[in-house]
Chain A
Amino acid sequence: MKRRILHKHPLAIRWFHWVNFPVLGIMIWSGLLIYWAYDPYKIQLGDWTLVSFFPDGFYKALKLSRRLAEGMAWHFVFMWIFLLNGLLYVGYTFISGEWRHLVPGRNSFREAIHVTLYDLGLRKDQPPFIKYNGAQKIAYFSIMLMGVGSVLTGYAIYKPTQFYWLTALMGGYKTARLIHFALTIGYVLFFVIHIGQVIRAGWQNFQSMVTGFEVVKSNDPERPVMTDVTPEPGPTDDPAPTEPRPDSTPLQPALS
């Protein structure tokens, strides 16, 4: 029996994604070893400290204390792989045209709100999308920009004299260090939501990041059968981008 499959992730994208996973892990871990040596950041409301980065127990539990030299060594070795993988990813999305799936468009923000309401159970339907919905586009495009930000602020604090112009551009040495740290917190938050959404989206979605394709099942209410007939839009002026098309592509939660 034949099944219809949807070719979702090209091989290159899958490589970039999975190479980034351990490399970013090493960068965050070694970054924490470095941050321990001078850890002034906190979120305060007036005099009240909401979050302190980080409490002593955090360093202790993860064995992050007194390992600055080790942290710097790992960080300044794996930064090259992080940079190279990022450059190849951005270059590939440009050349292959994958960027068309990733760059948010005019409707993405409205769509993202719609998707979020759907994910929260406040709306029954979600807007149609081809590869990624509006929320996903915004999330994945932002994470790419964050990567660029990490590299730029990273170099700004790595060589603040030789790249003095870059350090100045990033708001100075202290500001660049703060941004570099904040972006890392951003990755961790992204990771938590990402994992949650991948679990919600289910096996078919997850395995497509390994195999590259998704099997389109028939009679699956969550995944309407793809038809070859694309109905012409009605004579109305309203392009109704938020209205699901009858042949809408597979449904899945955002950010997966």
Chain B
Amino acid sequence: MKATNEPDLPESDLPESVIRRRTLKAFGWFALASVVPVGVYTWIQNSPNLAGIRKPLRKVLDVNEDIASTYFSSNHLVRTYPVEAAARVPRVNGFDGLRTPLPDDWKLQIDRQGSNGEPQEPLLLTMDDVKALPRQELVYDFKCVEGWSQIQHWSGVRFSDFMERYQLGTRSGKAPSPDTTDDLYKFVGMETPDKGYYVGIDMESAMHPQTLLAYELNGEPINNQHGAPVRLLIPHKYGVKNLKRIGRIFFSDTRPRDFWAERGYDYYLGL
């Protein structure tokens, strides 16, 4: 009688020659199979780069993006915290696009196209135009692609409100509406005034209700290091997508160039 219901291992009696043949065969297959991982690794490492990373890896990252956009929902919000939880000295990381002084005549430039695709006069806005929209506060866990995170307190306006108010991001030139999502361009591009830093954001993520054009940090105007006068805050993407000191915004159906994606990072970086 056994203490468990564990079955005995099957047994058989075989001539030694058969055992030897089976052993050799198994090890032959084993040796052959172990070439596969070596081959896969060599193939990947010898592939040409596509935007800073080996092509096969880039292809899968793009598939990962397709998968992620199937379960992406604007109803999935980042967790918010009480204001007291926010860091008093928010961390600064990265100075690309901020190495030159902010131009005195800074205005937020938004490129527009007519419904026929012809470029129109860009829209030039002041901070007062931005602040005229309903103010939102967001206290959330800012996540850096490096792996750290920090609870920070930001204020600004919803990017979706901004697009609606100024009738942006659509091919028809009308305000975006939930009923005509086909009218929207697929991407939003942003760059700093000196074009030293630039990001591309998929439209779905840009329209998320927690995506802000932020102008205050801890209730104070954003300082230069954090991206004065106005920056992008997109909490469901890593920090690298949260472009500081926006100079120009544009819309397109192809991926706008992206500073870190050119350097081998995933383009989507959605959380």
Contacts and interface: CB of A to CB of B under 8 A. Distances in A.
A38 B144 contact: yes
B52 A69 contact: yes
A178 to B, nearest CB: 11
A128 B234 CA distance: 60
Interface stretch (A113-121, A141-149, A188-196, A204-212): A204-212
Nearest 9 CB-CB pairs, A to B? A38-B147, A69-B264, A37-B146, A22-B37, A211-B26, A73-B57, A161-B236, A77-B60, A7-B10
A6 B9 CA distance: 7
Interface string A170-190: 000110010000000000000
B15 A2 contact: yes
Given A38-B148, A73-B53, A18 B270 contact: no
Nearest to A130: B6
A56 interface: no
B4 to A, nearest CB: 5
B9 A4 contact: no
A5 B12 contact: yes
A173 B14 contact: no
Interface in A188-232: 207, 210-213, 215-216, 226
A164 B72 CA distance: 12
Interface of A: 1-8, 18, 22, 26, 34-35, 37-38, 40, 68-70, 72-74, 76-77, 80, 97, 100-101, 105-107, 130-131, 158-162, 164, 168, 173-174, 177, 207, 210-213, 215-216, 226, 233, 239, 241, 249
Given A69-B53, A162-B76, A226-B11, A207 B6 contact: no
Contact of A241 (B3, B5, B236): B3
B127 interface: no
Contacts of B189: none
Nearest to A69: B264
B11 A4 contact: yes
B94 interface: no
Given A18-B33, A173-B143, 14 more contacts: A2-B13, A2-B15, A6-B10, A37-B145, A68-B145, A73-B53, A73-B61, A77-B60, A162-B76, A207-B27, A210-B26, A210-B27, A211-B23, A211-B27
Interface string B232-271: 0001100000000000000000000000100111100011
B78 to A, nearest CB: 5
Given A97-B7, A130-B9, A161 B78 contact: yes
Contacts of A18: 30, 33-34
Given A74-B57, A77-B57, A159 B68 contact: yes
A158 B67 CA distance: 13
Contacts of A207: 23, 27
A72 B266 contact: yes
B68 A162 contact: yes
Contacts of A158: 271
Contacts of A213: 19, 22
A164 B78 CA distance: 7
Contacts of A6: 9-11
Given A73-B266, A77-B57, A161 B77 contact: yes
A147 B10 CA distance: 29
A210 B30 contact: yes
A73 B19 contact: no
